Amino acid sequence: MAKTKSTRRTDMPVTAKALAQAVERGSKRNDSGIRAASLRYLPLIKSLLVVFADKTAVALPVHNYPELSKLTVAQLKRVSLGIAGSALCLEEADLHVSIAGLVGASAPLRRMAVTIAAARNGSRTSESKAMAARENGLKGGRPRKILPRKSA
């Protein structure tokens, strides 16, 4: 196992450049994960509507989640976003549930997330793949598979 040695930083003066770098690192870290912008209860369909910054939304039916189904309608209307928009919270019921966990508990939403991730990951092309494709193109394309002859 390789050993790594940590470096200890001493107090250093904060320059404008260092501050800008720290803000940039923080904003990159803040962009990761699920961050909802707003939340509302829809009594007509008995669901919590989680709305994101780009105005897309996910409706979570209350009856699908035991932690939400035990709440009254009044309490569901008071559920709020917490933990930087990554969780649903209701302090009076000691409720703190991650939005990612709720989405992951739904089989259809989980399958959709897997499909999206697979499509996105499958479309990535590395520089080495692109170079190999160019070389194969110069040779007339991808080499044909040679299938073994069937003996009669």
Q: Are strands 36-42 and 47-52 parallel, antiparallel or unpaired?
A: antiparallel
pLDDT at 95: 92
- Residue 20 counted as domain residue: no
pLDDT at 7: 65
Residue 91 sits in the same domain as residue 70: yes
pLDDT at 2: 65
Residue 95 sits in the same domain as residue 128: no
Angle 11-13-16 from CA coordinates, rounded to 5°: 140
Q: Please give the Cα distance from 117 to 11 (Å, whole number).
A: 42
pLDDT at 90: 93
Q: Which residues of the chain have pLDDT under 70?
A: 1-11, 27-33, 123-124, 152
Residue 86 sits in the same domain as residue 49: yes
- Residue 74 counted as domain residue: yes
pTM above 0.75, yes or no: no
The residue whose two tokens read 């209307």 is 77
How many Å from the N-terminal Cα to the C-terminal Cα in the chain?
56
Residue 112 sits in the same domain as residue 100: no
Residue 118 sits in the same domain as residue 71: no
Q: Please give the Cα distance from 87 to 53 (Å, whole number).
A: 15
Q: What percent of the chain has pLDDT over 90?
A: 38
- Residue 79 counted as domain residue: yes
Q: Give me the number of domains the chain comprises.
A: 2
- Residue 57 counted as domain residue: yes
The domain of 115 spans 107-140
Residue type, 41: Y
Residue 40 sits in the same domain as residue 101: yes
